[in-house]
Amino acid sequence: MAAVAALRRLADRLEDAAVEQAMRAGWSWPQVSEALGVTRQAVHKKHAKRLIAGGVTLRRRGE
């Protein structure tokens, strides 16, 4: 069970890094959400605050 928990933490860190890299490269929320297989709202809710705190400029809908 410890290994499963460690893998989940690793997967979360990898996702955080990949989403940040994608957003810094100019990806939109829909592009990120499609790549992750989740809704735009889900990816925004999970990552937006952390990205803003990290100084990432986020695209708005239609940009």
Contacts of residue 56, defined as CB under 8 A and 6 or more positions apart, other chains included, come to 20, 23, 24
Query: Considering the entire predicted model, what is its pTM?
Result: 0.88
30-58 residue pLDDT tens: 999 999 999 999 999 999 999 999 999 88
Helix or strand run (H / E) with residue 2: helix 2-24
How would residue 59 be classed by pLDDT, with cut points 50, 70 and 90? confident
Is the distance from CB of 51 to CB of 23 less than 8 angstroms?
A: yes
State residue 58's pLDDT score: 86
**pLDDT higher for 59 or 38?**
38
Which candidate, 50, 48, 46, places its Cα nearest to that of 58? 48
